[in-house]
Amino acid sequence: METLKFKTTIKGMGCVSKATPFLNEVAGEENWKVDVNNPYKVLEVAINGDTSAGDVVKAVQEAGFKAEPIQ
């Protein structure tokens, strides 16, 4: 599995809870985490061959937040 990182607007645990169903659907449970203590609120996602960075960004947007890939 490849790990992708994204800078997000997910601020705290309430936001994480709101994004959880969207991220679970695209990445699967246990395959993602958000570091809310990082100033960039970094989302790390372990993806398989069926999931792209675009899929993750779309899921975060559907939850009401923004995400952009970190190189």
pLDDT per residue over 27-36, tens digit each? 999 999 999 9
CATH assignment of 2-38+49-69? 3.30.70
Inter-CA distances, 25 with 39, 62, 69, 71, Å: 26, 12, 19, 24
Can you tell me the mean pLDDT for 30-55? Answer: 93
The confidence band for 50, taking pLDDT boundaries of 50, 70 and 90, is: confident
Give the pair of three-digit tokens for residue 51. 């999931």
The pLDDT assigned to 49 comes to 79
**Got the DSSP string for 26-44?**
HH-TTSEEEETTSTT-EEE
- The domains of the chain are located at 2-38+49-69
Give the pair of three-digit tokens for residue 29. 């449970």
